[in-house]
Amino acid sequence: MDDERLARRRLAKAIDTMPDVEIVCEASNGAQAIQQIARENPSVVLLDIEMPDGDGFHVAAKVLQLPELPEIIFVTAFSNYAVRAFEHGVADYLLKPFSRQRLVHALDRARERIRLKSLSERSMRLQLLVDKLRSERVGQEPSKSIWFRSGGDQIRVLPDQIRYVSADRDYVEIKTERQTIHLRHTISALAQALGNEKFARIHRSHIVRKSAIKTLKSLGRGKYQIELETGETLPVGATFRKFLD
């Protein structure tokens, strides 16, 4: 029996002792991990960095293209990958060998990140519903504003003023004609709120207002980028190219 399988068994045994955590799938290599994560849509992924047929960073890059992003905890025996791991926006980095208490702490961090995202998304959905019902009550068109919670404040954003949105780990950066707004939010929820009539998801990390696009440029080998009227450029992900047609 190989070391990887033994390590997975030890990890699974530790998780089985936690009443509020359930294992939904396991994988022995990178390709299998990507397939399982896409199918099962887990909330948290425990991912080794060294693995057959690739590495954990390749898997993480593929996972970040999924519509619903899980929290990722890297599990590895190599400390020199830590900086690169956190650049991927992971919830935590477990260095083998680690204690059960350290594993619990990592899962708690992931759970808290999920909770904060959920609160932000629920707040936005509720505000959209309230605006819609208020407008219907007085016989007006639904409000075109979107309200976001930032700390204890509510920020009003007009979609027609948004040039593009970029994801940065647990935050989004909204570029408007007048300002840049940083919010703790998910880009998937924001894409849903903005809709696809006036906006396009062009990359796992970018949403753009269609009318702000000046040109779509081919970079060769199936790669593209858009140029905005302001001269700013954004990459177009291969799986998102169809949304610009």
Domain ranges of the chain: 3-115, 144-244
The residue that leads in pLDDT, 80 or 29, is 29
Q: Which range (109-113, 132-136, 233-237) has the least confidence?
A: 132-136
Output the CA torsion 99→105→111→112 (10° steps): -170
Alpha-carbon torsion (71, 77, 79, 80), positive or negative: negative
The yes-or-no verdict on residue 52 having pLDDT over 90 is: no
pLDDT of residue 2: 43
pLDDT of residue 107: 92
Give pLDDT tens digits for 139-177: 544 446 677 666 556 677 778 889 999 987 667 888 988
Q: Which range (7-11, 95-99, 118-122) has the least confidence?
A: 118-122
Alpha carbon distance 149, 170 (integer Å):
14
pLDDT of residue 143: 47
By the 10 Å C-beta count (0-12 exposed, 13-18 middle, 19+ buried), 2 is classed as exposed
User: At 125, is the pLDDT very low, low, confident or very high (cuts 50, 70, 90)?
Assistant: low
Strands 146-150 and 153-157, bridge-based pairing: antiparallel
Q: Which range (49-53, 81-85, 104-108, 212-216) has the least confidence?
A: 81-85
Whether CATH 3.90.1150.50 fits 144-244: no
pLDDT of residue 8: 80
The phi, psi pair for 92, rounded to 5°, reads -165, 175
Class of domain 3-115: alpha beta
The yes-or-no verdict on residue 4 having pLDDT over 90 is: no
Q: How far is CA 128 from the centre of its chain?
A: 21
In order, the DSSP letters of 113-162 are HHHHHHHHHHHHHHHHHHHHHHHHHTT-PPP--EEEEETTEEEEE-GGGE
The yes-or-no verdict on residue 16 having pLDDT over 80 is: yes
The yes-or-no verdict on residue 213 having pLDDT over 90 is: yes
pLDDT of residue 1: 30
